[in-house]
Chains A and B, each alone.
Chain A
């Protein structure tokens, strides 16, 4: 059977949290459930699972690449065109710092943006299941599961007081 999304729309955060409990009792895996909100709710407000992310790795890699490029570029320039300035050694760190810092920052920023795009799985060409009432403060509980389980999901939504249930 194919996995298909089903969306329950709730007019309060408490009802949405109740729906989450109901889905858990019905044996729907937590990884199949998403809460759609118009604003970020505090961690665990719906009793939902923790969502770890790896976004911090991206700027770290970018910064490292930028720094390496900066070091290579400045040191190679200095070795290729040896020019004694102010009696300082040809390969001295302070004058390299400007380019290295700029390279590090640019690398970190670029990779952060790439990280956001990658982690958000962009571009998304297909629109998902949504209800515009979520923009008015309603909470959407989106379940992406086997069609055979849709009956259990609807029952959990109904018991929690869903104002609407939508299918794709």
Chain B
């Protein structure tokens, strides 16, 4: 174990190209220090909170005006709402999984990002509320007015329409996912809340007492903690990809006549992994640069995560190409209109922007070693990927919700593009604002750094000399 004297305050260890790569927080001070930072209200935080609140209010205004002017009778006017919801769900749904997945790998560099990722569980609760209007505008499965060659039953996942389909099963998906992620957050934060009780006051003290008063850190408790996190993490992964499959199939594919594509759900999932990791890197960069966490977040998490981000970026492009080439080369007449509609005609500009931001720019950034080793390079690539993902979601859902007749056998014509009006823009900004608002508030409620995990890391990592160089020595107890 590195002694206190050997441990480093800021700046980080490593030399040459690895300068600042690793940090070694002083274990004895971590609980008090992180609790202090959690409870503090610096001006930049207040400013960010204010901006997020204003954006959220704009979104609420946009929502109510959209609802009062267009109602919930048809999906068309809600295309951009669906797009921003999908973006929020795609990105924030995948974020808690990042913590679980890297915890499975038992890597040490992931320690500072665990709680940053898990805190997005709180946004999952908001996702349930945001999802309800989509259920209201979703066209019924049974065609109420069959005309000509229209289908009697819309093509959906619910082939034989079991009891509760689609509404109950759809909402249960989101409730189950949010419940699982909040339980992961609770379980993971329990040791930290129990330890922070000593310095917490007022509401936080009561909250920590209620949620973590039972925790003393016995061996039995740590064993249950570890097993519980592993189980819930695995189930979260299994449920998340399922919910993403349900959502993209139900609210995008089923809305476009004859859109039958087995690549879209995995592409959506890969994009969610790419953007979830991107968002976490951005939050970590902000915390490191302006949040006072430079002693906890070295460059190593960015460096390590950047390679995964690069892989996910390539994987997304592979899926997109697989999707495109099947339709393009298949040359089925009924599929050509789908291809033209979503890619090459009315939404061509948005599609090109999506490609540029989701693949070309992040790829061009992440192939450079010096940039991958910096603390700003991977978050920059991540920010660009987020813009690409936003364009993907807005294009896909605005198009899917505005095909006109959802009961048509196949898309008989290429509908015109529907561009966002002022209220759509308000809704989009509101969607981004509410994520920021909920996250910022959550980061003041619970420590945004996984204290117990960072402390555990201090047991297993130290810098040591080998000949003339100083290197990171890692212990792997299991």
Decide whether A and B are members of one complex. Answer: yes
Q: Which residues of A contact B195 (CB under 8 A)?
A: 38, 135
**Is A165 in contact with chain B by the CB < 8 A criterion?**
no
**Is A168 in contact with chain B by the CB < 8 A criterion?**
no
B161 touches A40 (CB 8 A): no
Q: Which residues of B contact A153 (CB under 8 A)?
A: none
Task: Report the Cα distance A95→B179, complex, angstroms.
Answer: 26
Task: Report the Cα distance A94→B160, complex, angstroms.
Answer: 10
**Is B222 in contact with chain A by the CB < 8 A criterion?**
yes
Task: Report the Cα distance A67→B99, complex, angstroms.
Answer: 28
B458 to chain A, nearest CB (A): 8
The residue that A135 contacts in the complex, of B159, B161, B198, with Cβ under 8 A, is B198
Query: Which of chain B's residues has its CB closest to A78's CB?
Result: B160
**Is B127 in contact with chain A by the CB < 8 A criterion?**
no
Encoded as 1 (CB less than 8 Å from any B CB) or 0, chain A from 1 to 45 comes to 000000000000000000000000000000000111111111100
A112 to chain B, nearest CB (A): 5
The residue that A134 contacts in the complex, of B164, B217, B453, B477, with Cβ under 8 A, is B217
A39 touches B456 (CB 8 A): yes
Q: Which residues of A contact B159 (CB under 8 A)?
A: 85-86, 88, 94-95
With A35-B219, A77-B160, A113-B183 already in contact, the answer to whether A40 and B456 are too (CB < 8 A) is yes
Task: Report the Cα distance A51→B201, complex, angstroms.
Answer: 35
**Is B27 in contact with chain A by the CB < 8 A criterion?**
yes
B162 touches A74 (CB 8 A): yes
The residue that A137 contacts in the complex, of B169, B214, B239, B455, with Cβ under 8 A, is B455
Chain B contacts to A: CB under 8 angstroms: 27-29, 31-32, 153, 157-165, 169, 172-173, 176, 179-180, 183, 187, 191, 195, 198, 213-214, 216-228, 231-232, 235, 238-239, 242, 246, 452-453, 455-456, 459, 477-478
Q: Which residues of B contact A112 (CB under 8 A)?
A: 183, 228, 231-232, 235
Query: Which of chain A's residues has its CB closest to B195's CB?
Result: A135
Query: Which of chain A's residues has its CB closest to B210's CB?
Result: A123
A85 touches B219 (CB 8 A): no
Q: Could you jot down 29 A-B contacts, CB within 8 Å? A: A34-B219, A34-B220, A36-B216, A39-B217, A40-B452, A43-B478, A51-B220, A53-B220, A53-B224, A55-B224, A73-B163, A78-B162, A81-B161, A85-B153, A85-B159, A86-B159, A95-B158, A95-B160, A98-B246, A99-B169, A102-B176, A102-B242, A109-B179, A109-B235, A110-B179, A112-B231, A113-B232, A124-B213, A140-B216
Task: Report the Cα distance A165→B22, complex, angstroms.
Answer: 37
In the A-B complex, the 9 residue pairs with the closest CB atoms: A42-B477, A95-B159, A135-B195, A39-B455, A124-B214, A40-B222, A39-B456, A34-B218, A77-B162
Interface size class of A (residues with CB under 8 A): 35 or more
A38 touches B452 (CB 8 A): yes
B5 to chain A, nearest CB (A): 15
A40 touches B226 (CB 8 A): yes
With A55-B224, A56-B231, A99-B169 already in contact, the answer to whether A38 and B160 are too (CB < 8 A) is no
Task: Report the Cα distance A62→B24, complex, angstroms.
Answer: 42
Most chain A Cβ neighbours within 10 Å, of B32, B159, B191, B227? B159
A51 touches B455 (CB 8 A): no
Q: Which residues of A contact B246 (CB under 8 A)?
A: 98
Q: Which residues of B contact A127 (CB under 8 A)?
A: 213
B205 to chain A, nearest CB (A): 13
Give chain A interface residues in 72-126, CB to chain B under 8 Å. Answer: 73-74, 76-78, 81, 83, 85-86, 88, 90, 94-96, 98-99, 101-102, 105-106, 108-110, 112-113, 115-116, 119-124
